[in-house]
Structure 1
Amino acid sequence: MPGSSTSSSRTNIRVVVVGDRATGKSSLIAAAASESFPIQVQPVLPPTRLPPDFYPDNVPLTLIDTSSSLENRGKLAEELKRADVVVLTYACDQPATLKRLTTFWLYELRRLEIKAPVIVVGCKLDKRDEEYHMSLEQVMAPIMQQFREIETCIECSAANMLQVPEVFYYAQKAVLHPTAPLFDQETQTLKPRCVRALKRIFILCDHDMDDALNDEELNEFQVRCFNAPLQPAEIVEVKRVVQEKLGEGVNDLGLTLTGFLYLHALFIEKGRLETTWTVLRKFGYDDEIKLGDPYLSIPFKKAPDQNMELTSEAMEFLKGVFSTYDGDKDGVLQHSELVELFSTAPESPWEDAPYKDAVDRTPMGGLSLSGYLCEWALMTLLNPNQSLANLIYIGYNCDAASAFHVTRRRSVDRKKQRTERDVHQCFVFGPKNAGKSTLLKSFLGRPFSENYRPTSSDWYVVNVVNQAAGTRKTLVLREIPEDEVKNLLSDKKSLAACDVAVFVYDSSDENSLKRASELLKDVARQGEETGFGVPCLFIAAKDDLDSYSNGIKDSAKICQDMGIDAPVHVSVKERDLNNVFQRIVHAADRPHLNIPETEVGQNRKLYRHFVSRSLMFVSVAAAVAVVGLAAYRSYAAKKNTSS
């Protein structure tokens, strides 16, 4: 199965060589570049380039020599932070320099937060004391155990040209074919993300879907990855090696997933990382074992006030996937079934915010079909590229154009006085302790709680809302903490993503109403200035509490003055929601209504109306004058003719 390697998309690798003074850094670089031992070498060499054809991967290397003197410590740190790989040297004839690796250098790399892999190189092997009997493995094993950033170790002699090219070959290999993303050295097992990618590749190659790669499928895989077929004897040998070590790795149908994963672990253990990296890259994976940009490009652009939504084709695919993984056919994907569904993705996309707490789940973390589709709708709304990636990871074989469609611009929706969107995003504003989070929880059917916990960051919830006409819309509620409103509105395009905004206030608290009114005016002002005005609703929460004197009158006047509907009164505690979510969707569906206007905006609108009417009167007067002049000229011409 192994074959020639395929490099990543890198066009250059920067190798920074560091170590104590007189450990052989400059001589190592000069010997590698000239392929001969230099008689004299200057203290610090200028950047040295190894051409693309120096190694099989055809990627050039830039070798950076450094000084370890105290006065050059700042420049050393700068070079290290630009390094793709670090070559750390010690002198085989100076045991103190070997000790300095663990007492200074490796800790210094950690202090500087250098993430590049490290190649430890023992120079001046020809000068080592003959009485020194410890092998390199004995010396370095405990050091590599402590410092996992060390990719490999090697000893060399520039004077004898012994293993000098190999030093920078390993440095290049550590960048192009790194161990860390693939293999856990401590447990000696493939890392989860590597397993997930290889599992997806296995499934893609298993054309007859019998959970095994037969000889023909193995051969197709070999040709795709390594451009060369396997001979029948080679296929027999591959399966024999697997079966000897792992009985379940091969069955009557061919190589199983277990055997496929075992083969790759075996390649890595034997230092053949390029084999696994070649396979991953042939199937589109990048250095982080995620699908690269070419596979995730979305061919159409969208304006700030447009969204992405899933097509009916993608929705049908997702429903089919749900049915496939709902093993017990109870209409719910249990947590274990969700884990299996995303077992071919780098990780499950819904384990963290904003998706983790966005939909209603069973006590054991399960998802209904509705909740599952809502998660996909939310991910498509917030991050179409992530949604596309996960569609592909779980088996969607079509391109982005078949998975998504771009919605019509909101400005066009306003002119046409209706929207065609199936997914609405609602921004939920309001002062602290007004009842925003309680409202969002009620949207997911969660019970009322007296405990108040202020929300510190944006929180999304999503659910389906049934309309009176029998239609269903997906509604996303985004709670925006009061402290974050100023930051949100500092972005002039922030309201472009909003279909409708609601302003929640505590109906028993006069200050809460006042603050909600201020927030409404801020949003209205932003909409007037940017052209991204949105329908708005006032929500009087905690309606089970006694309203303060004139509370109902004051809130109604605010809405009247701003040109929006009267407040919607709700009490989550009493389970009286007054059809609030249907009303939110109704407002979003009619984007030309309930757009608030400030006094400045109203005056500006009156002024534009006055100017427009004035221009119309001027135009009419001008037209009358022109007609009158033409009539006079006609009369005059006739009079002159008759005389």
Structure 2
Amino acid sequence: MSASDPVTGSRTSVRIVVVGDHATGKSSLIAAAAAETFRQDVPPVLPLTRLPADYYPDNVPIIIIDTSSSLENRGKLAEELKRADAVVLTYACDQPSTVNRLSSFWLHELRRLEVYANVYVTIKAPVIVAGCKLDRREEEYNLSVEMAPLMQQFREIETCIECSAANMLQIQEVFYFTQKAVLHPTAPLFDQETQALRPRCIRALKRIFILCDHDMDGALNDEELNEFQVKCFNAPLQPAEIVGVKRVVQEKLPEGVNELGLTLTGFLFLHALFIEKGRIETTWTVLRKFGYNDELKLRDDYLSIPNKKAPDQSVELTSEAVEFLKGVFSTFDDDKDGVLHDSELEDLFSTAPESPWDEAPYKDAVERTPLRGLPLSGFLSEWALMTLLDPAKSIENLIYIGYNCNATSALRITRRRSVDRKKQQTERNILQCFVFGPKNAGKSALLMSLMGRPFSENYIPTVSEQYTVNVVDQHTGKKALILREIPEDGVKKLLSNKESLAPCDVAVFVYDSSSENSLKGAMELLSYVARQGEESGFAMPCLLIAAKNDLDSNQTTNKESAKVCMNMGIDAPIPVSVKERDLNNVFSRIISAAEHPHLSVPETDIGRNQKRYRQLVNRSLICVSVGAAATFVGLAAYRAYAARKNTSS
């Protein structure tokens, strides 16, 4: 494999800022690189300098910013560094004090500015340390030995090089290595401390290996290796080159090659070898040919996500994608026990940058078996939740685990909820329910019961939104129900966004049936949410849930809640007891309300007044229309009469 015509990603230029102590040769270095000759008359600080695209093989132009080290220019220096793609940090080879200043001031200053870039390095811009005025040094100096402690302490240093503008020695190399550090960064791929490929790099290369292993025998044969070479580097491998590649791997790592060809272990070893030998652009070319960006995630142009045209539409998996996921589940269920254990899930997502479900809102959002296994219903529920909340993440992970079709075959856009309401039914398979209620009403217990978890006496107030999801059997088929708990303190913040209720298919309001204050809090929330729904145009069915039905029922509460429901035109409260597992078929009833979006929509006083006003306007328009029609008919009749009279006379 060779790195001919490397892919550099989407960058249109590389911005390099040159910094260092006064009189270390910054301006002379830049001037010599631009003019390709040494200049005597170099000003203290050069204006912006450009190196054309064809200056280096990557064909990306370079913008070089010269800087002043004076105190009065520190503000401008900081601004330039924050915009830098890379930094050239200079010292003078004939001034040892400037070498000491690298660690005592400059590298700490770069870190202090906190110009972050990616998860791998301390600061955004890789640093190239350049020793200028090499022609003036008199004593012996071993660069690699002297700079090793500095590079060990400051991992952002990509390389160290010494040069001479007067002798035009390694001037072009300074900016070549700097550009290369930006276009083909080492940090995302390779850990210099452990001298090993980083986990995310291994995952990406594993996916590429699997995609190239067409016969799925766990090795790349000569034909597959050649196809890989042509795809990445536009040139075939000669038979002798293939033999040579395999020989190199086998000598260093016997298990890297078997009778079938190059194994995954050997494939990874080759890339680690390229990086160690300074050919990191080879690995980056491969990664970018297969759609990866600098963070080792698929680029946006690989993720053509269908766009919603209205906020009250949602995104779901197609039946084709669901069938694919069922097949994936079966494939990775190694022991065929009907669940995916942690090791099997890790294997499933081993070609993704990381497992997408390790953090909120996906972590602990679905049912698990007693041994922490994820059943098929939970597996599909996680995908349903991810698709609804983050369609791009869903399609991205589908591709990581082997889905080869385009996004339109995996995702579908549902019709608007306002259309569902007019048609008096919904076609959605994933339904989202917002769960409101005062503190200690039983909201979290309701969410846990959707996953089949036992009741817990320990009360832990919910401080942030949380989700649970599960598949519920309906007479209309299986539906994925997502419960989204909204803490009482977070309701106003949520509803400050006018479109916040657009994705809500149904809202439930939970209250402690033994507490009048709890009912009062739920009623206030119901009125507030219903009013916001009316005003925003995203009204939704609402249900009251009388939780903790195992406690002594409050007769006043029962009468008051029934009265409120009747006044607002919604169903009577649903009594449930999570503690006694008497759920009164609540989840099926929630889905039924969402499936019939024209029913159970609460009417507030404002809504009723608006409705009366619209009815009055409509009646007035009808009267005007009838009057106008009568006038038109009368006028027509008169004209006909007048015409007959004129004819007879």
TM-score by length of 2: 0.97
Report whether the alignment pairs 1:154 with 2:147: no
The match for 2:320 among 313, 320, 325 is 313
Whether the 8 Å CA contact 2:306–2:411 is kept in 1: the answer is no
Letter in 1 for 2:64: L
Measured in 2, the distance between the counterparts of 1:511 and 1:147 equals 60
Match of 1:536 in 2: 542
The match for 2:598 among 576, 588, 592 is 592
Alignment of 1:481-520 (within 5 A): 481-520=487-526
Measured in 1, the distance between the counterparts of 2:446 and 2:633 equals 65
Could you say what secondary structure the match of 1:2 adopts? coil
Deviates more, 1:106-115 or 1:177-186: 106-115
Alignment of 1:341-352 (within 5 A): 341-352=348-359
Deviations 1:95-142 (A, max 9, x none): 111111111111111111132111111111111132x34x11111111
Measured in 2, the distance between the counterparts of 1:227 and 1:454 equals 60
TM-score by length of 1: 0.98
Alignment of 1:564-603 (within 5 A): 564-603=570-609
Match of 1:3 in 2: 3
Deviations 1:446-466 (A, max 9, x none): 111111111121111100111
Measured in 1, the distance between the counterparts of 2:326 and 2:293 equals 29
Measured in 1, the distance between the counterparts of 2:306 and 2:534 equals 32
- Structure 1, unmatched stretches of 5+, are none
Match of 1:187 in 2: 194
Report whether the alignment pairs 1:366 with 2:390: no
Letter in 1 for 2:322: M
Match of 2:87 in 1: 86
Alignment of 1:169-568 (within 5 A): 169-467=176-474, 469=475, 471-568=477-574
Letter in 2 for 1:68: S
Measured in 2, the distance between the counterparts of 1:297 and 1:368 equals 30
CA drift of 1:637 comes to: 4.1
Letter in 1 for 2:17: V
Could you say what secondary structure the match of 2:272 adopts? helix
CA drift of 1:592 comes to: 0.5
Could you say what secondary structure the match of 2:158 adopts? strand
Could you say what secondary structure the match of 1:8 adopts? coil
Measured in 2, the distance between the counterparts of 1:226 and 1:386 equals 30
Could you say what secondary structure the match of 1:550 adopts? helix
Could you say what secondary structure the match of 1:274 adopts? helix
Change (3 A) 1:256 1:498: same
Measured in 2, the distance between the counterparts of 1:40 and 1:629 equals 99
- What is the identity percentage for the equivalent residue pairs of Structure 1 and Structure 2? 76
Letter in 1 for 2:135: D
Match of 2:112 in 1: 111
Letter in 2 for 1:113: E
Whether the 8 Å CA contact 1:302–1:406 is kept in 2: the answer is no
Measured in 2, the distance between the counterparts of 1:12 and 1:506 equals 62
Whether the 8 Å CA contact 2:516–2:556 is kept in 1: the answer is no
Measured in 1, the distance between the counterparts of 2:564 and 2:609 equals 17
Measured in 2, the distance between the counterparts of 1:436 and 1:299 equals 34
Whether the 8 Å CA contact 1:361–1:368 is kept in 2: the answer is yes
- Structure 2, unmatched stretches of 5+, are 116-123
Could you say what secondary structure the match of 2:502 adopts? helix
Deviations 1:547-576 (A, max 9, x none): 345111111122222221111111111211
CA drift of 1:630 comes to: 3.0
Letter in 2 for 1:457: S
Deviations 1:349-377 (A, max 9, x none): 01111111110123443210110001111
Report whether the alignment pairs 1:621 with 2:627: yes
Deviates more, 1:584-593 or 1:112-121: 112-121
The match for 1:127 among 124, 136, 152 is 136
Letter in 1 for 2:425: R
Letter in 2 for 1:237: G
Alignment of 1:4-83 (within 5 A): 4=4, 5-83=6-84
Measured in 1, the distance between the counterparts of 2:111 and 2:3 equals 36
Measured in 2, the distance between the counterparts of 1:581 and 1:309 equals 20
Deviations 1:254-294 (A, max 9, x none): 00000000000000000000000000011111111111011
CA drift of 1:86 comes to: 0.7
The match for 1:631 among 616, 634, 637 is 637
Letter in 2 for 1:20: D
Measured in 2, the distance between the counterparts of 1:474 and 1:279 equals 39
Could you say what secondary structure the match of 2:88 adopts? strand
Measured in 2, the distance between the counterparts of 1:265 and 1:364 equals 38
| RMSD (Å) for aligned C-alpha atoms | 1.3
Match of 2:119 in 1: none
CA drift of 1:610 comes to: 1.7
CA drift of 1:639 comes to: 4.4
Measured in 2, the distance between the counterparts of 1:632 and 1:47 equals 88
